[in-house]
Structure 1
C-alpha cells in the first residue's frame, strides 16, 4: 500500500497541468508597413522587427528584469494604410489576449490615428522613426513615446547654423501637407525673434516649379525645404532647369531620406543623375542621431557595434545604419521592459498580467516610470521629456562634386562642414 500511495503522491508533484506556466506572458503587438509601400520603407520595418525580436529574447533571458513574466510579440502589415492599420489595431484590442503595449508605426501619418486610439484605451504605444510635431501633444496622445524627437526640435539647430555662417536672408519651401506645413510654421516662429529675415515662404502641392520660380525671382539662395523624398527629386530637377545651383546656393533638407535618394530618377523626373548632383551638392541636414557613436557596453550587455553586427547577421545582408531605426526599436523594447518592471511595486496588490484596457491608473503608472527612465542604449542615451526622446542631433553636409574627382559622397557622421573651393 505505501509504495502505491507514494507513487500516487509522487505523480502529483511531477505531473504539471498544461495551464500552469513558470512565467506570465505580457503581449505586445506591432504595426509595420511591409508591403504596398516603397522598398526602403519596408526594409526599415524589417530591420525594426529583427531588432525587436532580439530585444525580446535578450530581456526574457534576464533574471533581474520582469523575472515572473515573459514578453511576447506579434506584428501585422499595415500596407502603409491608415484604414488597414486602424482595423488591425481594433482587431487586436477586441480580441484576446490583452495587449500591454503597441509598437509602431514607422510613418507619422499612421502613428497619429493609432496613438490617439491607444490613448483612449490607455495602452502604451512606442514608435521609432516618427517626427510629427502633433505626437508631442500629451492631451491627445497621453501614453505615446518615441525614440526620436519632434521635427520642431531641429529648427533651433537650423537657426544656429544660419548664425554660424552669417546667413541672415533666407527662404522656406514646403509641401502643403503635414508634417511639413507644421514644421515650417514652427521654423518661421523660431526665426521671428531673431535678426534672420525670412524674405520668402513658399509652398506648393504637386508641381514645385512655380514656387521655385518665385524664389528665383527674389534671388533667394539659402532655402530650407520640407518635403517628402519623392517630392525632393521633383524639386531639385526643376531647380536645375531653372539654373538654381552652384556654390552660392545652400539647401536644407530633412535628414531621413534614404541613401543616394537623388539617384532614383524614374518616371516624372526629367533629369539625369549628374544634373541632380549638380543641384544637391553640399546640401545640409539636421536630424536625430539614430545610432550611438560610442563603443561602450550598454544596458543590454553589448556594445553598439556588436548590436549592429547582430542585425546584419540576422538579415544576412549589409545594412546602412545612417537612418535605420533598428537601434531605436531595440532600445524602445528595453525601455518598455524597464518601465513595466519599475511599476511592479507601485501597482501592488495587482500584477502586470492583471492589466486591463481603460485602466487609467495602471497605465498612468507605466507612463510615469517611462518618463523617469535614463539609460544608455545601443542608439545612444535614452530619456524622455513627455513623449519625445532627449538626445543628440547630427548636422551633416553631403558632398558629391567637389574635392574628389571620383565623385565620392562623404557621409560620415559629425563630418566637418566645409565648402567647395575653386579648383586649379
Structure 2
C-alpha cells in the first residue's frame, strides 16, 4: 500500500503505467505472494498547498501507507519530502529532477528518474570523444540550473578541462553571450530552460555565435518540438543558430531488448502502455512503471526481513513515526536491483544511474534526432545506436582559434642580389663623395653646395647599408646579436633618410630663396 500524489499534467500520462505496473506486480507469482498491492492517489494540481493537504488527509485516513510515490512538481515535492521525513516515511519520485534533493538534505527521498546532475557526465564524455578540451559555460541563475552547473564545473575540472569563461544570466543574455564571444569560446555548455533557450539562440544569431565555428551542448529535457514555440526572432534565424546543437534528455525506454523483472521487454511494455493510455502521454511513464516495481520489491524485502526477525509481525503491523520501520524500508529500497523498462535500476546515494539520450538538432525539416546513448551504470558512451552527427563543414568545430607560428627565412639568393646592389650603391656613392670633395672648388660644384651634396651622399650610403642589416635573420646571424642588429637597422635607416632628405630640402630651399629675392639691382 502506498500513497501517490500526482499533478494534473504529468499524472494523466503516468496513471496508465501505474495501473499497468500494479497489474503486473499483483499477477506475478514470486512478488509479494499472499499480498495485494494497492495505491491511494490524489491530484496535487502542481500546487504546494493542495499537495500538502492531500498528503495529510491521506495519512490520517484509511489503512497505513507503507511508502510514498511522487511528486512531479518541485514546489510540491519539497514540502511533502520534508513532511514525510518527520513521518519516517520512505518517498520515491518518478519525475522530479531538481538537484537539491540530495541524500544529505532529504535522507528519506529517492528518485527513479535521473537528476539534472546526471546530464553532466554524458556531455563530458562527448567533449572527450571529439577532443574538445577548452570550453565555456552559461547557465540560468535559478537553483535548478545553478546547482547542476556548480556540479558541472567540478566534473569538468576533475576531468582536466580548461574552463575559459563562465557566465550566468537572470533577465538578459546579450552581455553573457558577448563575453563568451570576446573570450573566443567555441564549445559552449548551457544549462537553462526552453523559454530562455529560444531567447539565447535568437541572440546567438545576432552575435554570429553559430555555424562551423561553434558547438552548443545543452542540458535539454525540453518539450517535444520546443523550437516551434513563439520566439523573439524569426523561425529561420532561430533554427539556423540552433543547427548542430547537441542536447541531452531522458531515455524514455531501454533499447537493449533485455527481459525485464516483469517478464516482458521494453517494446512489449510500450505496446501495452500505448493501448491503455489513449490520447494522454507522459515522458516519465517508463520511470513510473519501474518506480512501482522498485517499491514492490522493497516492500517484499521488508516483509521477508520482518518475518525472519519477528515471527509474530508482518508488514501489516507497519506504523508511522517508527524509526525501525523507517530503516527497514530505507535499506530495502537502497538495495533494490533489477532490470526495468528504462534500463538497470539501482540506487546510489538515493539516486539512480540511468541511461541518458543524446540528441542533435539537424535543421528545421529534420529537427532533433538521436545520435547516441550514455549508460551511467557502465560509464559507456554509445554513438553507434543513433544517426551520425551533422557538422557545418567536413569536421567538428575546433575548441579554439589555432595560432600557428611559422619561422620563415629570407631567401638567400634574393638577399645576395640585394646586398650586391647595396654594396654597388655604396661604392658608387663613395666615388661620388670622393669626386665631390676633390673638385669642391670647381665653379659648378661650388655653386651646387658641395657640403649639402656630401650629406646627401652619406645619407644614401647609410640607407644602402641598412638594406644589409634589414635582410639578416636567424640563419645568417646568432639570436644573441639580434638586439644590436635591430637597433642598428632602425638608426641606419632613420639617419640615412634624415640626412639625404634634409640636405635635399635645404638645397631646394636655397634655390627657392634665390629666385624669390625681390631686392634686385636694376641698371
Q: Answer yes or no: is the 8 Å Cα contact 1:102–1:123 preserved in 2.
A: yes
Counterparts of 2:192 and 2:198 in 1: how far apart (Å)? 10
The alpha-carbon distance between structure 1 residues 318 and 344, as it changes in their structure 2 partners (threshold 3 A), is closer
TM-score relative to the length of structure 1: 0.82
Q: Answer yes or no: is the 8 Å Cα contact 1:53–1:73 preserved in 2.
A: no
The alpha-carbon distance between structure 1 residues 207 and 92, as it changes in their structure 2 partners (threshold 3 A), is farther
Counterparts of 1:140 and 1:172 in 2: how far apart (Å)? 27
Q: Answer yes or no: is the 8 Å Cα contact 2:249–2:358 preserved in 1.
A: yes
The alpha-carbon distance between structure 1 residues 45 and 247, as it changes in their structure 2 partners (threshold 3 A), is farther
Shift of 1:409: 4.3
Counterparts of 1:118 and 1:318 in 2: how far apart (Å)? 30
Equivalent in 386, 390, 394 of residue 419 of structure 1: 390
Query: Higher helix fraction: Structure 1 or Structure 2?
Result: 2
1:263 equivalenced with 2:228 (yes/no): yes
Counterparts of 2:96 and 2:105 in 1: how far apart (Å)? 16
The alpha-carbon distance between structure 1 residues 108 and 407, as it changes in their structure 2 partners (threshold 3 A), is same
Q: Equivalent residue for 1:276?
A: 238
Counterparts of 1:208 and 1:91 in 2: how far apart (Å)? 45
Shift of 1:328: 0.8
Shift of 1:370: 1.6
State how 1:393-408 maps to structure 2 within 5 Å.
Answer: 393-400=356-363, 406-407=365-366
Secondary structure at the residue paired with 2:38?
A: strand
The alpha-carbon distance between structure 1 residues 201 and 408, as it changes in their structure 2 partners (threshold 3 A), is closer
Shift of 1:304: 0.8
Shift of 1:109: 4.1
Counterparts of 2:81 and 2:126 in 1: how far apart (Å)? 34
Shift of 1:335: 1.0
Q: Equivalent residue for 1:341?
A: 300
State how 1:239-250 maps to structure 2 within 5 Å.
Answer: 239-250=204-215
* Unaligned segments of structure 2, at least 5 residues: 373-384, 395-523
Q: Equivalent residue for 1:369?
A: 332
Could you say what the CA RMSD is over the residues aligned between the two structures, in angstroms? 2.3
Equivalent in 74, 79, 89 of residue 40 of structure 2: 74
Counterparts of 1:64 and 1:192 in 2: how far apart (Å)? 47
Q: Answer yes or no: is the 8 Å Cα contact 1:31–1:76 preserved in 2.
A: yes
Q: Equivalent residue for 1:31?
A: 5
Q: Answer yes or no: is the 8 Å Cα contact 1:282–1:419 preserved in 2.
A: yes
* Unaligned segments of structure 1, at least 5 residues: 1-25, 35-41
Q: Equivalent residue for 1:332?
A: 291
The alpha-carbon distance between structure 1 residues 195 and 104, as it changes in their structure 2 partners (threshold 3 A), is same
Counterparts of 2:56 and 2:249 in 1: how far apart (Å)? 33
Q: Answer yes or no: is the 8 Å Cα contact 1:312–1:318 preserved in 2.
A: no
Q: Equivalent residue for 1:236?
A: 201
Q: Answer yes or no: is the 8 Å Cα contact 2:117–2:152 preserved in 1.
A: yes
Counterparts of 1:54 and 1:412 in 2: how far apart (Å)? 31
Counterparts of 1:318 and 1:69 in 2: how far apart (Å)? 31
Q: Equivalent residue for 2:276?
A: 314
Shift of 1:154: 3.0
Shift of 1:251: 0.9
Shift of 1:180: 0.5
Deviation digits for residues 92-119 of structure 1 (CA, Å, limit 9, x no counterpart): 2233332222211223443233222212
Shift of 1:384: 1.2
The alpha-carbon distance between structure 1 residues 107 and 254, as it changes in their structure 2 partners (threshold 3 A), is farther
Counterparts of 2:280 and 2:51 in 1: how far apart (Å)? 29
The alpha-carbon distance between structure 1 residues 109 and 231, as it changes in their structure 2 partners (threshold 3 A), is farther
The alpha-carbon distance between structure 1 residues 160 and 64, as it changes in their structure 2 partners (threshold 3 A), is closer
Counterparts of 1:372 and 1:302 in 2: how far apart (Å)? 23
Shift of 1:238: 2.2
Secondary structure at the residue paired with 1:133?
A: coil
Q: Equivalent residue for 2:102?
A: 136
1:385 equivalenced with 2:348 (yes/no): yes
Secondary structure at the residue paired with 1:207?
A: coil
State how 1:175-186 maps to structure 2 within 5 Å.
Answer: 175-186=140-151
Counterparts of 2:112 and 2:49 in 1: how far apart (Å)? 25
The alpha-carbon distance between structure 1 residues 280 and 384, as it changes in their structure 2 partners (threshold 3 A), is same
Q: Equivalent residue for 1:10?
A: none
Equivalent in 301, 326, 342 of residue 263 of structure 2: 301
State how 1:43-58 maps to structure 2 within 5 Å.
Answer: 44-58=10-24
Aligned length: 378
Q: Answer yes or no: is the 8 Å Cα contact 2:139–2:168 preserved in 1.
A: yes
Shift of 1:393: 2.8
Shift of 1:131: 2.4
User: Structure 1 stretch 224-233 or stretch 411-420: which is displaced more?
Assistant: 411-420
Q: Equivalent residue for 2:170?
A: 205
Secondary structure at the residue paired with 1:90?
A: helix
Secondary structure at the residue paired with 1:170?
A: strand
Deviation digits for residues 186-228 of structure 1 (CA, Å, limit 9, x no counterpart): 1111222444221221111132232222223333221111112
Counterparts of 1:315 and 1:194 in 2: how far apart (Å)? 43
